Structure 1
Amino acid sequence: MKTAFVTDSGCGKSVEQLMADGIYSVPLQVSYDGKNFHDQEDITIDEAYALMKDGKMLSTSLPSLGKIEELFSKLKEEGYERIFAVPICSGLSGTINAMAMCCEQLGIVFEYVDCHVTAVVQEYMIKVAKALFEDGKSMEEIKAVLGRIVDTTNTILLPNDLQHLKRGGRLTPLAATLGGLLKIKPILKINQETHGKIDVADKVRTMHRAMDNVIEIMKKEHVDDSYLITVAHADDAKEADVYMEKIKAAFPNAKHQIIKLVSVVGVHTGRGCQAVQYFKMIKD
């Protein structure tokens, strides 16, 4: 069955970048001042953070149904009978449901795996799925491999701007005020256990103490040399470097990288957030 592999801009890459690897994508939406912009197409990560620095309150939403329908109709015309998707997780977005609905209307088979997060693991999983398919693996085998990746995945967020979380409605005004006065740094997590929703893992007094706590969490989860560990920052590269040095000291033989936190997450956490995402890579 001719199968197209599809994701969205939650992975931090543009439609053009993903197409270079034979993967189709649709852009999520970033909105401000009553206007919608296609993520990674009309507005870059840097532009989003610049707007936030200027005091703009941004929001995000799933890809427009028109964009999904346009892509899927094109794929059907090209003879694709099935779409296999790894979109941004259902706990953060309705993208999976929108894709499923479009496939049903067009009469295309829809298969997907919920990554329960977004960003780096989302891109990794769709690329692994395509490679396995090209190696002759069945849908069941592909889903089993991706499931093992999800089982080892965790994303931990260290927001620095409690007032931004308050303005965005994700923290009560009282909690934000008390947190600011007491210099409390919440440690937030998003993973399979939280069903792709953001939950509180712990609270500490300083950003560097929070980083140390995250490393202890990683040790308890038996992170080892087979993991990819990503530090993603919301417009604060200096602190990301500090975070990465701590991580490298604890896990020197793992694979490491620093990136900018994807817009669809950074918009909600605010500038200055430091995130770490890690998962066990599959063996070649």
Structure 2
Amino acid sequence: MKTAFVTDSGTGETIEQLRQDGIYSVPLQVSYDHQNFNDSLDITIDEVYEKMREGKMLNTSLPSLGKIEELFTQLKEEGYERIFAVPICRGLSGTIDAMEMIAQQLGLVFEYVDCYVTAVVQGYLIRLAKRMMEQGMSVEETKEACAQVIHTTDTVLLPDDLQHLKRGGRLTPLAATLGGLLKIKPILAINEHTKGKIDVAGKVRTMSKAMDTVIERMKQAGVDSSYSITVAHADDAVQAEVYRKKIEDALEGVRVHVIKLVSVVGVHTGRGCQALQYFKPFDQQ
């Protein structure tokens, strides 16, 4: 059965970048001033953070149904019979359900993996799925391999701007006010255990203490040099370098990649957020 591998812009990669690896992608949407923009097509990560610096209140939503239908129709016309998708997780977006609905309407078999997050691990998993199925693995074996990676995955967010979370409806006004008065830095986690929803994992007083707390979390999880580790910053590269050095100094032999936080997360956390994502690649297990 001819299979197309599909993801979305939650990976932080453009449609062109993914196509070089034989993977199809649809853009999530970023909106402000009553206008919708296709993430990574009509608006870049840098432009998103520029709008945030200007004080714009941005929001995000799943890819337009028209974009999904356009891609899936094209794939069907090219002879594909099955879609294997690793989109942004169901806990953050309705993308999986939208893709499944349109695939069924077009008579395409739809298989997916809920990665319980987005960003780097999402991009890794869609590539892993493609590689395994091209090597002759079944859908079930491929999903099990992805599940093994997901079991080792954790994503921790250290937002710097509680007022932004309040304006975006992710935090109550009272909690934001108290947090600001007490100078509380929440530690937010999203992973398989939180079912892809953002949960509070701790509260400290400073960004430095928050970073130290996350490093202890990594140690308890047994993170070592075999893991893929990424620090993603929301328009604060200086603090990201501080975070990277802290991690590399604390965990012998590890190497940390530093990138910009994907638009669809940074829009909700606000500028200054430092995100950490780690997982153990399948070939290291």
Tell me if both proteins adopt one fold, taking TM over 0.5 as the criterion: yes
Kindly report which structure 2 residues correspond to 1:1-284, keeping only aligned pairs within 5 A, or say none.
1-283=1-283
- Report deviation, 1:225: 1.8
SS in structure 2 of the partner of residue 70 of structure 1: helix
SS in structure 2 of the partner of residue 283 of structure 1: helix
State the TM-score, normalized to the length of structure 2: 0.98
Report if aligned partners of 2:188, 2:200 keep a CA contact under 8 Å in 1: yes
In structure 1, the gaps of 5 or more residues are: none
Identity, in percent, stands at 71
CA distance in 2, matches of 1:74, 1:194: 35
CA distance in 2, matches of 1:144, 1:254: 26
Shift >4 Å, 4+ stretches: none
- Report deviation, 1:252: 3.3
- Report deviation, 1:12: 0.3
State the TM-score, normalized to the length of structure 1: 0.99
Report if aligned partners of 1:226, 1:255 keep a CA contact under 8 Å in 2: no
Alpha-carbon displacement from aligned partner over 1:206-241 (angstroms, at most 9, x marks no partner): 000000000001111111221001000000000000
Report if aligned partners of 1:9, 1:26 keep a CA contact under 8 Å in 2: yes
In structure 2, the gaps of 5 or more residues are: none
SS in structure 1 of the partner of residue 283 of structure 2: coil
- Report deviation, 1:253: 2.0
Deviates more, 1:130-139 or 1:31-40: 130-139
CA distance in 1, matches of 2:27, 2:251: 34
Report if aligned partners of 2:248, 2:255 keep a CA contact under 8 Å in 1: no
CA distance in 2, matches of 1:152, 1:82: 28
CA distance in 2, matches of 1:163, 1:222: 34
CA RMSD across the alignment: 0.8
SS in structure 2 of the partner of residue 247 of structure 1: helix
Q: What is the count of residue pairs matched by the alignment? A: 284
CA distance in 1, matches of 2:256, 2:246: 12
SS in structure 2 of the partner of residue 74 of structure 1: helix
CA distance in 1, matches of 2:260, 2:157: 13
CA distance in 2, matches of 1:127, 1:14: 15
- Report deviation, 1:256: 2.0
- Report deviation, 1:156: 0.1
Tell me the amino acid that sits aligned with residue 283 of structure 1: D
